């Protein structure tokens, strides 16, 4: 080939391995033990899965007959309707489109509503993958900043008119990753007029909706006056991201829904990505929901209790602020000692072999002289406790030096 290899400009942000990745791969290759407080893959977090029963379901299901439906198999969609019904939410199977992952759901929705170069509004702090998913579709992101004093809940004042005017979509994650904030029906009512005035469909990612604590309630939002689209899937509901089954749930004015379905069918027909076997065993799989979620919820509660204990025993409240989340799989620690975040987290990884995510990675705004770190509450409890102890130790060492 003559000259330089040519690739899409999508990858212009990619400039080689970062220092974290280098250290982690060195630890792995040299069998150095480190504590990973970033684990978000439930299949690697020590939970028991009903593998035999699932194997049996696949053995007895029809894995071959191919009857493609752009919306996904009707029986599988009925199973999802029943899932919502068990939570007291009435939906129609006709309003569901099955996809292979939430990420794919976004790629369909971005294709449906946006053209290359368009902008979309994404939450900060929020799910880091939104940036990449947008880049892959040639879109620009505009972050809207929720505030700690509002418990990270979206307020109408967080949405600037100029940004609304140039955005094609508003994305909300509820419960949010990583803050756990929940977008309620009342919150929706407060921004509904704005959505109508700016003609912006709302996309709500509710993958963490079954993981809610302290008496908080999450309810799926369905509306008939303005487009509200929900994204969810087995990744978190069953803790099985590898099953590759997620969905898009449409709600909104009837004429809008008709047109939306027509275009979404076209996109979906182009790829037909959801595999037949997983659709045919969905009604079996979903029965394991309580068994799997109970383990995950127990782990999260235990880790939350440990955090509370450590913080009350050591009276760390002046040094580290700990936001125990009301939902979701993450918790946020804030301290002057974590500033600058990257320097602190690199030191923690090098000196104490503890791997954490920085607040910056989730789009937390930089606060002068204060840093945030994000911990996964999915971490096995023993490791979680040791990890926190090592974090406290490194702070104490810094104080005494
Ligand atoms: C907010 C949010 N949405 C979606 C996903 C991933 O979903 P999927 O595995 O279905 O692409 C994650 C994973 O952590 C997430 O945090």
> Which ligand 1 atom sits nearest the alpha carbon of residue 104?
11
Give the sign of the dihedral formed by CA 373, CA 377, CA 379, CA 382: positive
Report CA 332 to chain centroid distance, whole Å. 15
- Cα(129) to ligand 1 centroid in Å equals 8
The response to whether residue 179 sits with its C-beta less than 6 Å from ligand 1 reads no
Dihedral angle over CA of 155, 156, 162, 166, nearest 10: 80
Band of residue 1 on the pLDDT scale cut at 50, 70, 90: low
68 class by beta-carbon count within 10 Å (0-12 exposed, 13-18 middle, 19+ buried): exposed
- Cα(103) to ligand 1 centroid in Å equals 7
- Cα(130) to ligand 1 centroid in Å equals 10
Whether the predicted pLDDT of 3 surpasses 90: no
Number of Cα atoms under 13 Å in the Cβ half of residue 203:
26
> What tens digit of pLDDT does each residue of 54-108 get?
999 999 999 999 999 999 999 999 999 999 999 999 999 999 999 999 999 999 9
Question: Which pLDDT belongs to residue 18?
Answer: 87
> Which ligand 1 atom sits nearest the alpha carbon of residue 241?
9
Task: Output phi, psi for 124, to 5 deg.
Answer: -135, 125
The response to whether residue 127 sits with its C-beta less than 6 Å from ligand 1 reads yes
Whether the predicted pLDDT of 20 surpasses 80: yes
- Cα(193) to ligand 1 centroid in Å equals 29
> What tens digit of pLDDT does each residue of 109-127 get?
999 999 999 999 999 999 9
- Cα(290) to ligand 1 centroid in Å equals 20
208-212, 261-265, 333-337: segment of lowest average pLDDT: 333-337
What residues pair up with 327 in beta bridges, in sequence order? 212
What mean pLDDT is predicted for residues 214-236? 96
Whether the predicted pLDDT of 12 surpasses 90: no
What mean pLDDT is predicted for residues 30-53? 97
Calculate helix-pair angle for 381-400, 289-314, nearest 10 degrees.
20
The response to whether residue 99 sits with its C-beta less than 6 Å from ligand 1 reads no
Does the pTM exceed 0.85? yes
- Cα(279) to ligand 1 centroid in Å equals 19
The response to whether residue 40 sits with its C-beta less than 6 Å from ligand 1 reads yes
Mean pLDDT of the chain: 95
- Cβ–Cβ < 8 Å for 141, 123: no
Q: How far is CA 398 from CA 172, 269, 318, 337, 349, in A?
A: 38, 58, 16, 9, 15
Band of residue 369 on the pLDDT scale cut at 50, 70, 90: confident
Question: Which pLDDT belongs to residue 317?
Answer: 63
- Cα(314) to ligand 1 centroid in Å equals 35
Compute the chain's Rg from CA coordinates.
Answer: 22
> Which ligand 1 atom sits nearest the alpha carbon of residue 40?
14
Interatomic CA distance for residues 37 and 299, integer angstroms: 14
The response to whether residue 205 sits with its C-beta less than 6 Å from ligand 1 reads yes
> What tens digit of pLDDT does each residue of 327-340 get?
999 999 999 999 99
> Which ligand 1 atom sits nearest the alpha carbon of residue 233?
10
Ligand 1 pocket mutation, candidates 43, 100, 127, 231, criterion most atoms within 8 A of CB: 127
Question: Which pLDDT belongs to residue 16?
Answer: 63
User: Cβ–Cβ contacts within 10 Å for residue 317, how many?
Assistant: 10
Residue with token string 């899965």: 49
Q: How far is CA 261 from CA 27, 30, 84, 162, 228, in A?
A: 49, 52, 20, 30, 13
User: Cβ–Cβ contacts within 10 Å for residue 28, how many?
Assistant: 10
CB burial of 210-232 (b: ≥16 within 10 Å; e: otherwise) equals bbbbeeeebbbbbbeebbbbbbb
Band of residue 15 on the pLDDT scale cut at 50, 70, 90: low
Query: Which pair of tokens denotes residue 91?
Result: 């939906």
Ligand 1 pocket mutation, candidates 236, 327, 377, criterion most atoms within 8 A of CB: 236
- Cα(246) to ligand 1 centroid in Å equals 10
Question: Which pLDDT belongs to residue 398?
Answer: 82
The response to whether residue 233 sits with its C-beta less than 6 Å from ligand 1 reads yes
């Amino acid at each position: 080939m003559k000259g330089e290899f040519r690739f899409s400009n999508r990858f212009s942000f990619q400039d080689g391995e970062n220092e974290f990745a280098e250290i982690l791969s060195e630890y792995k290759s040299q069998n150095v033990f480190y504590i990973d407080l970033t684990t978000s893959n439930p299949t690697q977090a020590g939970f028991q899965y009903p593998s035999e029963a699932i194997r049996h379901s696949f053995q007895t299901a029809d894995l071959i007959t191919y009857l493609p439906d752009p919306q996904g198999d009707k029986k599988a969609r009925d199973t999802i309707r029943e899932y919502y019904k068990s939570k007291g939410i009435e939906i129609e199977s006709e309003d569901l489109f099955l996809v292979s992952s939430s990420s794919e759901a976004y790629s369909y929705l971005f294709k449906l509503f946006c053209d290359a170069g368009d902008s979309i509004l994404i939450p900060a702090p929020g799910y880091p993958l939104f940036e990449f998913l947008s880049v892959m579709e040639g879109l620009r992101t505009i972050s809207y900043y929720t505030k700690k004093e509002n418990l990270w809940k979206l307020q109408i004042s967080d949405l600037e008119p100029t940004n609304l005017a140039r955005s094609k979509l508003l994305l909300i994650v509820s419960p949010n990753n990583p803050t756990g904030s929940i977008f309620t029906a009342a919150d929706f009512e407060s921004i509904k007029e704005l959505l109508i005035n700016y003609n912006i469909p709302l996309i709500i990612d509710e993958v963490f909706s079954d993981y809610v604590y302290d008496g908080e309630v999450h309810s799926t939002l369905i509306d008939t006056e303005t487009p509200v689209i929900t994204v969810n899937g087995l990744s978190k509901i069953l803790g099985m991201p590898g099953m590759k089954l997620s969905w898009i749930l449409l709600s909104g004015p009837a004429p809008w829904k008709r047109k939306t379905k027509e275009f979404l069918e076209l996109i979906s027909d182009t790829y037909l990505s959801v595999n037949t076997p997983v659709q045919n065993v969905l009604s079996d799989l979903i029965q394991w929901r309580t068994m799997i979620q109970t383990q995950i919820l127990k782990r999260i509660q235990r880790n939350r209790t440990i955090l509370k204990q450590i913080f009350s025993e050591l009276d760390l409240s002046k040094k580290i602020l700990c936001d125990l989340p009301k939902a979701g799989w993450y918790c946020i620690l804030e301290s002057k000692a974590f500033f600058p975040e990257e320097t602190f987290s690199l030191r923690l990884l090098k000196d104490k072999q503890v791997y954490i995510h920085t607040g910056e990675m989730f789009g937390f705004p930089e606060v002068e002289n204060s840093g945030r770190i994000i911990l996964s509450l999915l971490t096995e409890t023993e490791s979680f406790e040791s990890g926190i102890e090592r974090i406290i130790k490194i702070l104490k060492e810094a104080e005494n030096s």
